[in-house]
Each structure stands twice: as structure tokens, then as C-alpha cells.
Amino acid sequence: MSETSTIERRGLLLVLSSPSGAGKTTLARRLIEADADISMSVSVTTRKARPGEVDGRDYTFVDEATFRRMAENNQLLEWARVFDNCYGTPRAPVEAAIGKGHDVLFDIDWQGAQQLSEKMKHDVVRVFILPPSAASLEERLRARAQDPDEVVRRRMDEAAAEISHWPEYDYVIVNTDLTRSMEGLTAILTAERLRRERLNGLTAFVRDMQSQL
């Protein structure tokens, strides 16, 4: 139980970005499993599902027309074109969660992180995950047997572009060891939850305490 569990707080938006292959998805899954107060934002995408991906869990898979309609109707908090596909964050679940003091985890790229920061500056905490080396990144990309060679090459180029945005993030974790990276991520989340500005029940709590002193 956290020290602030009795104090009402506003939820935060924890954004994880990294080049694909840096271990971000694994870290995100572990965090969601370990912590009941944070849940994953499920993006909509025009990309086709990869083997093993489940509609509504990994992504909500939509066609171009549906995606465009959602963007035009302001149903997306942010959206971006990544590789050849569009990806976006549905607005309603995020707003509902933070209003209830529940945190939301985002696996989105630098374009999404920028847009979210512009719109919800005080709620966003940005974490960039770096691979330990270029070689390890390439190895992890190649291990994804489902991607053909030219896709791997392209993803390496995209990785270089994504990595160039690291200074726009509040925290950077070099993912050399999953256990240590998880410790870092958990520490960030714990500290950010304790920020005074998020504890909107704090004034009442202290007033009540003072009245009894």
C-alpha cells in the first residue's frame, strides 16, 4: 500500500518510447502485470495484425476510413503515421482513467509523446528506453522472424531516427538488464505518483490534520 493511498490523486500518463526492439513491450507488459493501478492504453492502428496479436488487446485494428473518421471526430488524443501505417490513442478511456486516479501506460512513438505533452503537460511522464548497443538492437530485430530482411533494415533506420529524440524525455533507461530496468521504471512511477501537484486531496487531508492538532 502506498503512503498516499488515502489521499485522492489525479492519474498520470506514463509514456514509454523506444526504437522497436529495445524491449519496451516486455517492460510495459511486466509493469501492467505487477501494478493494478496502471493499465495499458490500447491504440488503434491501420496496420495488419501480426501472428499472435489479439484485436482489442494489443491494438484495435481498423481500416484507413475508420481511422480517418476517428481523427476527424476528435476521438483521438494524438495520432501519427509510423512506417506506412497510422497509429492513434483513443481519447475517452484515458480521460476516464485519470479522472478516477488511475494511471495509463502508453507504448507510443516520439510524435505521440510530443502531442500528449502539448495537450496534457502536467499529467505526462515520459520515459525513453534505449537498447544497450546498436548490435543488440539489430539482433533483437532479426530475432523477430516474422519481419523480412528489408523490414529489419528499415526498422534500423527508423530506430536511428527515434533515438534522436531521447532529449525530449524526462527519464532515459538503458535496457541492459530487464530486472534492473523494471526496478528503474517502478521507481519512476512511485516517485511521480507522490508528486504534490498530483495529490489533489492533499489540501483537505492537511487541513483536517491541522484542525486536530
Positions in the binding site for ligand 5GP (CB under 6 A): 20, 43, 47, 78, 80, 82, 87-89, 107-109, 111-112
- Minimum gap (Å) between residue 53 Cβ and ligand 5GP: 8
- Minimum gap (Å) between residue 74 Cβ and ligand 5GP: 15
CB nearer to ligand 5GP: give 39 or 111: 111
CB nearer to ligand 5GP: give 78 or 123: 78
Q: What is the dihedral angle through the alpha carbons of 100, 102, 103, 106, rounded to the nearest 10 degrees?
A: -80
CB nearer to ligand 5GP: give 6 or 167: 167
- 3-class DSSP state of 20: coil
Q: What residue number has its CB nearest to ligand 5GP?
A: 112
Q: Residue 179: exposed, middle, or buried by beta-carbon count in 10 A (0-12, 13-18, 19+)?
A: exposed
C-alpha dist (Å) from residue 88 to 42, 46, 158, 193: 9, 9, 18, 25
CB nearer to ligand 5GP: give 79 or 184: 79
Cα distance between residue 18 and residue 174, in whole Å: 10
